[in-house]
């Protein structure tokens, strides 16, 4: 579905270079002819030497902790969610409703204290096809109605009745509020990398993400995804003639990105 992070990064300390969204932008502008941007490579290498995280399956951590991290992340930082004045518990029902579908492929990142610092929920698209919105906040329902609208717009690019094991869907990615901006961006990089690794290892043919965050939009293209749609949510009109995302800046876009394996 979407992902949130804190945005551009600031220097963490005297030894670790900052990692910024602009680094990925520069790389995408040059990588076809010049290879990976050396500044980006150096930043990632420096972070890998200074930051240590452990990937574990979602089923191995307390569900409530992971769910709260995701919910808090979206209500405080999500471009489609933060203007609605929601609290974390308003967003939790949609996460709980999909939890069992997430357990097979999803994962979290733990720091050296074994605290959850990032969560990636991904699932077979077949398992997410019949999610319900029972108990969800009205604005959360609007978000998912909008994302369903985007699904209709890209139906020529994505199988409409996929077989099990054919399409991996990226649902929710989130990072902890206590992370620095640089840590968040590096964590998002690691999650995107791991998602495509798991998709390939499990022999999915396609990975699909609806990205509402500028960083994940850039990371999707960095990892070789094809952009099949860019949409401005501020102009979306629901079935009642309302514009639920009118508060979203006009320059903000939501993208649908697809990678074939």
Report how far residue 207's alpha carbon sits from residue 195's, in angstroms, rounded to the nearest whole number.
9
| Domain architecture of the chain: domains with CATH | 2-260 (3.40.630.30)
pLDDT in tens, the chain (261 residues): 656 554 332 223 333 446 666 676 666 555 544 455 666 677 777 888 888 999 999 999 999 999 999 999 999 989 899 888 899 999 999 999 999 999 999 999 999 999 999 999 999 999 998 787 778 899 999 999 999 999 999 999 999 899 999 999 999 999 999 998 889 889 999 999 999 999 999 999 999 999 999 889 988 988 999 999 999 999 999 999 999 999 999 999 999 999 999
Q: With a threshold of 0.95, does the pTM exceed it?
A: no
Report how far residue 91's alpha carbon sits from residue 85's, in angstroms, rounded to the nearest whole number.
11
Report how far residue 184's alpha carbon sits from residue 192's, in angstroms, rounded to the nearest whole number.
12
Report how far residue 46's alpha carbon sits from residue 48's, in angstroms, rounded to the nearest whole number.
5
Its sign, for the CA torsion 215, 6, 132, 104, is positive
């Amino acid at each position: 579905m979407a992902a949130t992070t804190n945005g551009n990064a600031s220097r963490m300390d005297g030894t670790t270079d900052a990692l910024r969204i602009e680094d990925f932008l520069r790389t995408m502008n040059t990588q076809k002819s010049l290879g990976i941007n050396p500044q980006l490579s150096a930043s990632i290498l420096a972070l890998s030497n200074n930051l240590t995280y452990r990937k574990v399956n979602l089923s191995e951590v307390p569900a409530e902790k992971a769910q709260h991290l995701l919910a808090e992340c979206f209500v405080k930082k999500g471009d489609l969610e933060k203007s609605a004045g929601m609290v974390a518990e308003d967003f939790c029902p949609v996460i709980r409703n999909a939890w069992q579908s997430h357990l097979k492929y999803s994962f979290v990142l733990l720091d050296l204290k074994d605290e959850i610092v990032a969560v990636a929920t991904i699932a077979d698209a077949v398992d997410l096809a019949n999610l319900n919105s029972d108990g969800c906040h009205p604005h959360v329902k609007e978000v998912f109605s909008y994302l369903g609208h985007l699904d209709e717009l890209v139906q020529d690019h994505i199988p409409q009745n996929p077989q099990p094991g054919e399409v991996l869907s990226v649902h929710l990615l989130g990072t902890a509020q206590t992370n620095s901006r640089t840590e968040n961006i590096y964590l998002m990089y690691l999650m995107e990398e791991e998602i495509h690794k798991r998709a390939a290892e499990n022999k999915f043919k396609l990975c699909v993400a609806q990205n509402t965050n500028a960083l994940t939009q850039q990371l999707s293209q960095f990892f070789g995804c094809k952009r099949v749609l860019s949409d401005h949510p501020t102009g979306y009109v629901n079935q009642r003639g309302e514009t639920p995302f009118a508060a979203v800046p006009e320059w903000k876009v939501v993208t649908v990105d697809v990678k074939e394996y």
